Structure 1
Amino acid sequence: MKTALFYEYYEKWISIYKDGAIRKVTLNKYKMTLQWLKKLIPNIKVFEMTRNVYQKLLNDYAEVHEKQTTMDFHHQLKGAIMDALDEGLIEHDPTRKAIIKGKVSRSKKPKFLSQFELHSLLSVLDLGSTINSDWLIQLIAKTGLRFSEAIALTPKDFDFAHQLLSIDKTWDYKGEGGYQPTKNKSSVRKIQIDWQTIVQFSELIKNLPEDKPIFVKEGTRLYNSTINDLLARKCRLAKIPVISIHGLRHTHASLLLFAGVSIASVARRLGHASMNTTQKTYLHIIQELENKDVDIVMRSLASL
């Protein structure tokens, strides 16, 4: 096995440890990494994977990818390399002190809106008496659901009596459609929804089939890009920064944090696997809130 080509070892490693254990969309990322190995180091054998070889691999990959993408590439390789190290196929850890480079990031859409901007967006939505994509935008803004979670919702997921929404599945919008599991176990959850949403959706879905998706019409496909295009038009109409549909999830979480909701509660509402994910994602907001906390502490001490 030491003399096997590294990409062959990696391909076998994916088959043993990842295939069937992770979601298809994540598995495809590992397979894409495999294709890059075939392109960049087609002749490197397992035992030849030294620090210099590995760093050059990262550098070559980084020439055509942004830094975060290169970091993901590194993480997808590291698991296989650590196993090869444990098996004695590689003598020293080639990933030790690896330097992550990458192209300068392209200008990206803002991650979230302010409360005023969100109000402006919601005010231009076409919220009629029947379900449409504008209702989907509003629901994601008010719940922080992932796109795949929101379009998998059925009427029976709404508990109007207790103002609860159950999330226990996603919709395979990247594939052939149909239900599939949530991103992780923590993503299976019940979240509280406001009374206005309760009143609106109790009317909207009262005559719809209990176990059919609300937002996906039978026999049709609903693409993330389609909703992002609609959202972009609505943002321009409201004269606010253009964000993505996932940006509405960030907006929801950000407004909750600024309102004083605990990180633990926000993490549960978003279906994060741990609070660490929430802290990393919203570090800039948490730091801003900590600065405000310092001011409050100082004022309180000064008044003693």
Structure 2
Amino acid sequence: MEEKSTLFKDFALEWLKIYSHSRDVKPGTVRVRNHEIDKLMPYFAYLKLTDITLKKYQDTLNDLKEKYANNTLDGIHRTGRMIFRKAVEMEIVIKDPTEFAVIKKEKKAIEELEKAEVPRYLEKNELALFLETAAFKGLDMDYLVFLILSYTGMRVGELVSLKWNDIDFPENTVRIIKTYYNPTNNTVKYQLVPPKTKGSVRRIVIDDIVIEALKRHKETQEKVKRRIGNTYYNKDFIFANSCKYPGYPILIKTVENRMKRLLKIAKLNQELTPHSLRHTHTSLLAEAKVGLEEIMDRLGHTEDRTTRNIYLHVTKELKKEASQKFGQLMRSLQ
């Protein structure tokens, strides 16, 4: 590409092609980067890379700030920075216009800072009711699906990609080394990709109740395989369809729809999602006085503000309770 004449739209797409073939870049991440490029196109598409200055780039960020949330804007800026760094590296431009650009963060009001974002999750008794509803009124595999999500805190994509060789029955562990990717929700066009981060690769110790439920499910699945025969897509998936497309892993959308149905039957908060069970797992581990580092390790997090907020919220309540108990003890001595 010539330095003087390369248009942003051409180089951005060229960069995306290079980026998508990079090691460890998942299809979902490429899709996100493509969306972020789309947000920059109205401003830069037909400009030469050499004509995009720091002022033009900063004005673009300022304008985008009026339209998008901070997280979205951070992503757009990150993509912009990668594109121009590559252009410098390839000597298409001499100067990187994004280098000193900033996203102006507004100072949060004290009230907002005091009110840490704690996502919704199920309390102990609500989780018991939800699992009971799944056991007695759930559809095929519902109880096992939601039992595992609740008892492990794994992501739903990690769950639907599980294979039988990921379960170590003698050791009571489940291995997480992959996740499920299927943006079109076409059952047969799924992909198995590496987990969200390197820290997401992990082995989780699971409760006997989960192991027993898995054993029962394995027996049922073997009967289905024998009944269906050669048309069964036998790739060892635990959560496999048994009717249409038998053997193929179930869709994430199916898990979401099934959860909504059960929440409605149980008269629980229907805004909760399968990911809320991950937050529920965090809150119950915190209540059981498991340390934050151990919880992060179990969830496959290296750092996560949401998990930290839930942990601090639960432990703060426990500390209050401890203080009240101490006060009661001292009063009883008077």
Q: Please indicate the TM-score interval, normalised by the length of the shorter structure.
A: 0.7 to 0.9
Contact 1:228 1:245 in 2 (8 A): yes
- Partner of 1:145: helix, strand, or coil? coil
**1:215 matches 2:239:** yes
**1:284 matches 2:309:** yes
Distance 1:117 1:59, change over 3 A: farther
**1:114 matches 2:118:** no
Deviations along 1:195-253, whole A, 9 cap, x unmatched?
11112221221353695212122725633233212211211222222211122122212
User: In structure 1, what is the Cα distance between the partners aligned to 2:290 and 2:194?
Assistant: 28
Aligned to 1:14: 16
Distance 1:283 1:179, change over 3 A: closer
**1:31 matches 2:34:** yes
Contact 1:172 1:179 in 2 (8 A): yes
Between Structure 1 and Structure 2, how many residues are aligned? 290
Contact 1:127 1:135 in 2 (8 A): no
- Partner of 1:44: helix, strand, or coil? coil
Range that drifts further, 23-32 or 76-85: 76-85
User: In structure 2, what is the Cα distance between the partners aligned to 1:20 and 1:111?
Assistant: 36
Give the TM-score, by structure 1 length.
0.79
Distance 1:126 1:207, change over 3 A: closer
Distance 1:60 1:222, change over 3 A: farther
CA shift for structure 1 position 149: 1.2
- Partner of 1:69: helix, strand, or coil? helix
Contact 2:179 2:192 in 1 (8 A): yes
Q: Which runs of 5+ in 2 are unaligned?
A: 107-117, 223-233
Aligned to 1:90: 95
Distance 1:113 1:130, change over 3 A: closer
Q: Which runs of 5+ in 1 are unaligned?
A: 102-108
User: In structure 2, what is the Cα distance between the partners aligned to 1:67 and 1:38?
Assistant: 19
- Partner of 1:98: helix, strand, or coil? coil
CA shift for structure 1 position 82: 4.3
Alignment match of 1:229 (pick from 242, 257, 264)? 257
Give the TM-score, by structure 2 length.
0.73
- RMSD between superposed Cα atoms in Å: 3.4
CA shift for structure 1 position 191: 0.6
CA shift for structure 1 position 292: 5.8
Alignment match of 2:285 (pick from 256, 273, 291)? 256
Aligned to 2:216: 203
1:222 partner amino acid: I
User: In structure 1, what is the Cα distance between the partners aligned to 2:119 and 2:181?
Assistant: 26
User: In structure 1, what is the Cα distance between the partners aligned to 2:42 and 2:80?
Assistant: 15
Deviations along 1:97-150, whole A, 9 cap, x unmatched?
32269xxxxxxx954222222222112114589952342122211111111111
CA shift for structure 1 position 27: 0.7
CA shift for structure 1 position 84: 4.7
Contact 1:173 1:222 in 2 (8 A): no
User: In structure 1, what is the Cα distance between the partners aligned to 2:62 and 2:204?
Assistant: 44
Q: State the identity %.
A: 24
- Partner of 2:219: helix, strand, or coil? coil
- Partner of 2:134: helix, strand, or coil? coil
Alignment match of 1:185 (pick from 198, 220, 236)? 198
Contact 2:201 2:300 in 1 (8 A): yes
- Partner of 1:191: helix, strand, or coil? strand
- Partner of 2:175: helix, strand, or coil? strand
Distance 1:248 1:168, change over 3 A: same
Aligned to 1:4: 6
User: In structure 2, what is the Cα distance between the partners aligned to 1:294 and 1:65?
Assistant: 38
User: In structure 2, what is the Cα distance between the partners aligned to 1:270 and 1:239?
Assistant: 28
CA shift for structure 1 position 18: 4.1
User: In structure 2, what is the Cα distance between the partners aligned to 1:120 and 1:191?
Assistant: 25
- Partner of 1:216: helix, strand, or coil? coil
